[in-house]
Amino acid sequence: MANHTTVTEFVLLGLSDACELQMLIFLGFLLTYLLTLLGNLLIVVITLIDRRLHTPMYYFLRNFAVLEICFTSVIFPKMLTNILTGYKTISFPGCFLQSFFYFSLGITEFFLLAVMSFDRYAAICNPLRYVTIMNKRVCVQLVLCSWVTGFLLIISPTFIILQQPFCGPNIINHFFCDNFPLLELICADTSLIELLGFIVANFSILGTLCVTATCYGHIFYTVLHIPSVKERQKALSVCSSHIIVVSLFYGSCIFMYVRSGKGSQGEDRNKVTALLNTMVTPMLNPFIYTLRNKQHEPSCPPPPALHRQRTERARAPGAQLQDALCPLSRRRRSSGGGQLQANCG
Query: Which pLDDT score, from 0 to 100, does residue 227 have?
Result: 84
Domain ranges of the chain: 19-298+305-329
Say if residue 100's pLDDT is above 70: yes
pTM of the predicted model, to two decimals?
0.80
d(CA 6, CA 185): 12
pLDDT tens string 162-203: 888 887 788 888 889 888 888 888 888 888 888 898 889 888
Amino acid at 116: M
Query: Which pLDDT score, from 0 to 100, does residue 267 have?
Result: 63
Supply angle C-alpha 218, 107, 64, rounded to 5.
70
Say if residue 307's pLDDT is above 60: no
Average pLDDT, stretch 11-34? Answer: 86
| Cα separations in angstroms, 86 against 25, 76, 169, 269 | 12, 15, 19, 24
Please, which residues bridge with residue 172 across strands?
12
Give me the sheet containing 89-91, strands edge to edge: 89-91, 9-12, 171-172
pLDDT tens string 250-305: 887 777 665 555 555 556 677 777 888 888 888 888 888 775 555 444 333 333 33
Average pLDDT, stretch 67-74? Answer: 94
**Domain topology for 19-298+305-329:** Rhopdopsin 7-helix transmembrane proteins (1.20.1070)
d(CA 47, CA 54): 7
